[in-house]
A and B are shown apart, each in its own frame.
Chain A
């Protein structure tokens, strides 16, 4: 039992369950209602899973970047680039020879994501630019690139096949969920059944020692930022399929913050070291649940951000070891004072 509670995933999981329960009680049970329409599941929980998929996919990549003590704030812009490329190809605006082949469009968009990641990797691993600054370049430039690709317009497309990336169903459940599960499984395989995970943690704790212990620090950083780029591209595809077009100005706007937040709520230290992809996915679901509920409860739009901030603060405090120790100290302090006269 003690082992279970000490797992990194334990606390975020409890928080998620608690939030969902609270939402359920406040909504009088509506929250849990899942109906089946035309063989598809509908309901708030399904919404959370569908919309949370993007965050979960992003968080998987982001976790590793944060695990090395770095960060990738360019993911939102990479999403925009991927969306713009895929939609433009499907629309036939660029690479007309492909006849709008959705499969190839997706592949090229993912490659573009990998390329963006490689650029970040080059800046960080080779040129030793601080990750925050290095990825900031693509954060600002990326949207410009996306607009160049989309010719400054919102590219709208009509392609059932492409819509399915976000709106489709498999076994009655939304497609993005399956994509997210697939990504998470791949990442888990990569980090758990090879030594990649522990090497990432070692780099995060002490890059100098890691190098002398024979870890290829540079190569691992490249790989991680490329993976970050690919996950961002995937999230971008889902988002653009959801709105049936590429909106370069708004696609993935500020999503890097939610991504980092999800990882932080999951308990991975932003300073690097121990990380858990499962924890981050749970963190992503927490972030999504908060967003969904705020809308569902009809909080005035101008207050949603404030409401979200308050909830996030509470969640983070519950997660913070330092905070809990402090609380404990205060409690013990009070108890101690009461005992003092008796001694």
Chain B
């Protein structure tokens, strides 16, 4: 049983001002799936980076098969038998599937690359994963889920003994997740050790054998999955009672007595046609639906991120023209987009600059916000939203996902909006931060701010929203209020069954 292939002991890693890892231990057996858990900033990513040679540790030992290794570059780790699949698919979208699988280690025939053999091998490899696709097709013609499988196939083919899956499921549908788990189990049968980093706790219990928990850079413990109830696990992760975070005040959700804040009539953009909806003051309005159902597109329409080609926007009873994001900001609308990295953060700028950037746009380019005021705003919001950072001078890209999301929230709160649109604000962040964000949203609504909340997690939607639009095929197919909102009701609407 005790067949440990990887052992990390007394790992220390310090960044300027942050102790990212403080005497952390981790061990992995052959043929097990080992979940590595912790909140954002707990040190999971850093531990993975140290293990894969992306960052070098300050102290500690890493042993593979009893031999000490000290990977300095990702390729060192690969040579030692450690393969990694990152959260964001790390492949080349413009290359073909086969090229992606074999890039950097192309099979050759003399001087030339042996494409025929590469294509064949790729096909074989992917068959193991239950994928029969055209391997000569460009990678980006396939869904993210398929791309993820291809990334795993590539990683596994490098004859790895240890496979690290960093948040592999965050962009997959339930069915795709199931398939991924089948693959993980198959690899486990083959004797591979799998490190599974995720924030979906129920998934942890579905596949994992053991669980290691980190908190604030320190090692909390390693447990057998079947002997650790979920509620205890959460307690270990956040270091306090989960109940206190769970207690989110429920909004009333009253169909009649809500004052209207904004109304869209027959809104049409390049992505969506003829959407009409009304958003009430002090409500949390949810947009539910599957990926691609039009929920993000509707949000973008309201904010002017996609240009409205026809239709009317009525705000507080007056018709307004919102043709671009700046118009929306000037009308006190705020929008956290779904793709945090591409459309949210400005990575190389500091937290302070990221926080005041929208307020600056609102005030106009000629009215520069003074350094002193920017400092005050940043400090206040960092404190209010409990953003974990040594200072406002840190580049935002150095923060963990949850903290980046909070900075974006801070950016919009700084503009003092009347309507706050949040598209997947809790995707890819951990339980603690998630609950915090949900709580913030509901509290803002109680103070009279209107929120639009979009999430794939129905449980979260049910908890936060007082009103719900359900979308299917780019159309609004149902409206639910207060007590009517339940996961089953939403699912029935999404599935296209008749009204509840």
Question: How far is it, in angstroms, between the C-alpha of A208 and the C-alpha of B346 when the chains are bound?
Answer: 9
Question: Which of A212, A273, A274 counts the most B-chain CB atoms under 10 A from its CB?
Answer: A212
Instruction: Choose among A205, A208, A213 the residue that contacts B358 (Cβ–Cβ < 8 A).
Output: A213
**Contact pattern, A 203-218, Cβ under 8 Å of B = 1, otherwise 0:** 0011011111111100
Contact residues of B between 346 and 388, Cβ < 8 Å to A: 346-349, 353, 357-358, 360-362, 365-369
A208 and B342 in contact (CB under 8 A), knowing A214-B326, A214-B362? yes
A194 and B342 in contact (CB under 8 A), knowing A206-B347, A214-B325? no
A202 and B368 in contact (CB under 8 A), knowing A209-B345, A214-B326, A214-B362? no
Q: Does B337 contact A (CB under 8 A)?
A: yes
Residue of B nearest to A193 (CB): B368
B346 touches A274 (CB 8 A): no
**Contact pattern, B 145-180, Cβ under 8 Å of A = 1, otherwise 0:** 000000000000000000000000000000000000
- B329 cross-chain contacts in A, Cβ below 8 A: 214
Q: Does B344 contact A (CB under 8 A)?
A: yes
B358 touches A214 (CB 8 A): yes
Residue of A nearest to B330 (CB): A214
Instruction: Choose among B326, B337, B349, B366 the residue that contacts A202 (Cβ–Cβ < 8 A).
Output: B349
- A213 cross-chain contacts in B, Cβ below 8 A: 325, 346, 357-358, 361, 411
Q: Shortest CB–CB separation between residue A144 and chain B, in angstroms? A: 36
Question: How far is it, in angstroms, between the C-alpha of A111 and the C-alpha of B392 when the chains are bound?
Answer: 43
A196 touches B305 (CB 8 A): no
- A212 cross-chain contacts in B, Cβ below 8 A: 303, 305, 325, 335, 337, 343-344
B362 touches A202 (CB 8 A): no
Residue of B nearest to A215 (CB): B361
B325 touches A211 (CB 8 A): yes
A214 touches B345 (CB 8 A): no
- B343 cross-chain contacts in A, Cβ below 8 A: 208-209, 211-212
Instruction: Choose among B303, B357, B365 the residue that contacts A196 (Cβ–Cβ < 8 A).
Output: B365
- B349 cross-chain contacts in A, Cβ below 8 A: 198, 201-202, 205
A206 touches B345 (CB 8 A): yes
Residue of A nearest to B343 (CB): A208
**Contact pattern, A 181-203, Cβ under 8 Å of B = 1, otherwise 0:** 00000000000011110110110
Question: Which of B325, B335, B347, B365 counts the most A-chain CB atoms under 10 A from its CB?
Answer: B365
A214 touches B361 (CB 8 A): yes
Question: How far is it, in angstroms, between the C-alpha of A212 and the C-alpha of B408 when the chains are bound?
Answer: 11
Question: Which of B344, B349, B411 counts the most A-chain CB atoms under 10 A from its CB?
Answer: B349
A202 touches B357 (CB 8 A): yes
- B335 cross-chain contacts in A, Cβ below 8 A: 212
Question: Which of A199, A206, A209, A213 counts the most B-chain CB atoms under 10 A from its CB?
Answer: A213
A205 touches B348 (CB 8 A): yes
Residue of A nearest to B303 (CB): A212
A202 touches B346 (CB 8 A): yes
Q: Shortest CB–CB separation between residue A223 and chain B, in angstroms? A: 10
Q: Shortest CB–CB separation between residue A2 and chain B, in angstroms? A: 12
A195 touches B348 (CB 8 A): no
Count of chain A residues near B, Cβ 8 A = 21
Q: Shortest CB–CB separation between residue A321 and chain B, in angstroms? A: 14
A194 touches B325 (CB 8 A): no
Question: How far is it, in angstroms, between the C-alpha of A216 and the C-alpha of B366 when the chains are bound?
Answer: 13
A273 touches B345 (CB 8 A): no
- B325 cross-chain contacts in A, Cβ below 8 A: 211-214
Count of chain B residues near A, Cβ 8 A = 30
A194 and B357 in contact (CB under 8 A), knowing A209-B342, A209-B345? no
- A209 cross-chain contacts in B, Cβ below 8 A: 342-346
A195 and B369 in contact (CB under 8 A), knowing A212-B335, A213-B411? yes
A198 and B337 in contact (CB under 8 A), knowing A205-B349, A209-B346, A214-B325? no
B345 touches A195 (CB 8 A): no
A206 touches B346 (CB 8 A): yes
A198 touches B326 (CB 8 A): no
B347 touches A205 (CB 8 A): yes
Question: How far is it, in angstroms, between the C-alpha of A206 and the C-alpha of B339 when the chains are bound?
Answer: 12
Q: Shortest CB–CB separation between residue A268 and chain B, in angstroms? A: 12
Residue of B nearest to A208 (CB): B343
- A196 cross-chain contacts in B, Cβ below 8 A: 365
Q: Shortest CB–CB separation between residue B370 and chain A, in angstroms? A: 10
Question: How far is it, in angstroms, between the C-alpha of A212 and the C-alpha of B358 when the chains are bound?
Answer: 8
Residue of B nearest to A196 (CB): B365
Question: How far is it, in angstroms, between the C-alpha of A26 and the C-alpha of B344 when the chains are bound?
Answer: 53
- B369 cross-chain contacts in A, Cβ below 8 A: 195
A273 and B348 in contact (CB under 8 A), knowing A193-B368, A195-B369, A212-B305? yes
Q: Shortest CB–CB separation between residue B428 and chain A, in angstroms? A: 17
Instruction: Choose among A194, A206, A208, A216 the residue that contacts B326 (Cβ–Cβ < 8 A).
Output: A216
Contact residues of A between 44 and 99, Cβ < 8 Å to B: none
A198 touches B360 (CB 8 A): yes
Q: Shortest CB–CB separation between residue B190 and chain A, in angstroms? A: 37
Q: Shortest CB–CB separation between residue B333 and chain A, in angstroms? A: 10
Question: Which of A198, A210, A274 counts the most B-chain CB atoms under 10 A from its CB?
Answer: A198
Question: How far is it, in angstroms, between the C-alpha of A210 and the C-alpha of B369 when the chains are bound?
Answer: 17
Question: How far is it, in angstroms, between the C-alpha of A273 and the C-alpha of B367 when the chains are bound?
Answer: 21
Contact residues of B between 269 and 305, Cβ < 8 Å to A: 303, 305
B357 touches A274 (CB 8 A): no
Q: Shortest CB–CB separation between residue A148 and chain B, in angstroms? A: 38
Question: How far is it, in angstroms, between the C-alpha of A273 and the C-alpha of B349 when the chains are bound?
Answer: 8
Question: Which of B305, B357, B362, B366 counts the most A-chain CB atoms under 10 A from its CB?
Answer: B357
Q: Shortest CB–CB separation between residue A188 and chain B, in angstroms? A: 13
Q: Shortest CB–CB separation between residue B48 and chain A, in angstroms? A: 22
Q: Shortest CB–CB separation between residue A201 and chain B, in angstroms? A: 7
Residue of A nearest to B72 (CB): A329
- B365 cross-chain contacts in A, Cβ below 8 A: 194-196, 199
A198 and B357 in contact (CB under 8 A), knowing A193-B368, A214-B329, A216-B326? yes
- A210 cross-chain contacts in B, Cβ below 8 A: 346, 357
A194 touches B346 (CB 8 A): no
Question: How far is it, in angstroms, between the C-alpha of A152 and the C-alpha of B361 when the chains are bound?
Answer: 48
Question: How far is it, in angstroms, between the C-alpha of A216 and the C-alpha of B304 when the chains are bound?
Answer: 13
Residue of A nearest to B300 (CB): A212
Question: How far is it, in angstroms, between the C-alpha of A213 and the C-alpha of B360 when the chains are bound?
Answer: 9
- B366 cross-chain contacts in A, Cβ below 8 A: 194-195
Q: Shortest CB–CB separation between residue A325 and chain B, in angstroms? A: 12
Residue of A nearest to B357 (CB): A213
Residue of B nearest to A333 (CB): B72
Instruction: Choose among B324, B326, B346, B367 the residue that contacts A205 (Cβ–Cβ < 8 A).
Output: B346
Question: How far is it, in angstroms, between the C-alpha of A215 and the C-alpha of B343 when the chains are bound?
Answer: 12
Question: How far is it, in angstroms, between the C-alpha of A17 and the C-alpha of B500 when the chains are bound?
Answer: 78
- B353 cross-chain contacts in A, Cβ below 8 A: 198, 202
- A205 cross-chain contacts in B, Cβ below 8 A: 346-349
Listed A/B pairs (27) with beta-carbon separation below 8 Å: A193-B368, A194-B365, A194-B366, A195-B365, A195-B367, A195-B369, A199-B365, A202-B353, A205-B346, A205-B349, A208-B343, A209-B342, A210-B346, A210-B357, A212-B303, A212-B305, A212-B325, A212-B335, A212-B343, A213-B325, A213-B346, A213-B357, A213-B358, A213-B411, A214-B328, A214-B357, A215-B357
Contacts beyond the supplied A194-B365, A195-B366, A213-B357: 7 A-B pairs with Cβ under 8 Å: A195-B360, A195-B367, A201-B349, A202-B349, A206-B346, A214-B362, A215-B357
Residues of A within 8 A of B (CB): 193-196, 198-199, 201-202, 205-206, 208-216, 273-274
Per CB-CB distance, the 7 closest pairs between chain A and chain B, nearest first, are A214-B361, A214-B329, A214-B326, A205-B348, A208-B343, A213-B358, A195-B368
